[in-house]
């Protein structure tokens, strides 16, 4: 039995180091944001919502990036969920990237983009 546990740990460590399991576990990896882009969105969410991707404080803005429902719907977010805070982090980032591309920067998040030095 001890040898069996050692083998599991060895395999788990090998997968973690090689990253092979990531490909097998995440079939939509191509749709996921790259680490650099995700880091920017995580920083922005940290400013907007304290990094809470499920934020719903009752102020009319939802999710980690504090989308209004109208912006969320206009950029196709309702295909994931009617409310942004019920969508995954990756789905929120996908919609946010569309907003950023359409508006030419991070100006949809004016206070936090200014605070973080992001192009508006």
Confidence (pLDDT) at 36: 87
Mean pLDDT computed over 1-13: 43
Determine the Cα–Cα distance for residues 18 and 63; give it in Å rounded to an integer. Answer: 33
Give the residue with greater pLDDT, 83 vs 20.
83
Give the residue with greater pLDDT, 88 vs 25.
88
Domain-wise residue ranges, the chain: 34-116
Give the residue with greater pLDDT, 120 vs 7.
120
SS (H, E, C) 14-55: HHHHHCHHHHHHCCCHHHCCCHHHHHHHHHHHHHHHCCCCCC
Is the domain 34-116 a CATH 3.40.980.10 member? Answer: no
Q: How far is CA 92 from CA 5, 62, 95, in A?
A: 39, 10, 5
Instruction: Decide if pLDDT at 75 tops 70.
Output: yes
Mean pLDDT computed over 90-96: 98
Mean pLDDT computed over 72-79: 98
Determine the Cα–Cα distance for residues 11 and 95; give it in Å rounded to an integer. Answer: 37
Using one digit for the tens of pLDDT, what is the confidence trace for 95-118?
A: 999 999 999 999 999 999 999 999
* Rg from Cα positions in the chain: 18
Using one digit for the tens of pLDDT, what is the confidence trace for 16-60?
A: 444 444 333 334 444 455 678 899 999 999 999 999 999 999 999
């Amino acid at each position: 039995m001890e040898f069996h546990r050692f083998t599991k740990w060895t395999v788990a460590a090998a997968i973690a180091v090689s990253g092979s399991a990531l490909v097998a576990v995440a079939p939509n990896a191509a749709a996921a944001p790259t680490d650099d882009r995700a880091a920017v969105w995580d920083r922005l969410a940290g400013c907007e919502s304290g990094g809470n991707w499920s934020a719903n404080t009752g102020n009319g803005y939802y999710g980690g990036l504090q989308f209004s429902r109208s912006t969320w719907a206009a950029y196709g977010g309702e295909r994931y969920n009617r409310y942004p805070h019920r969508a995954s982090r990756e789905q929120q980032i996908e919609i946010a990237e569309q907003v950023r591309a359409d508006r030419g920067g991070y100006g949809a998040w004016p206070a936090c983009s200014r605070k973080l030095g992001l192009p508006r």
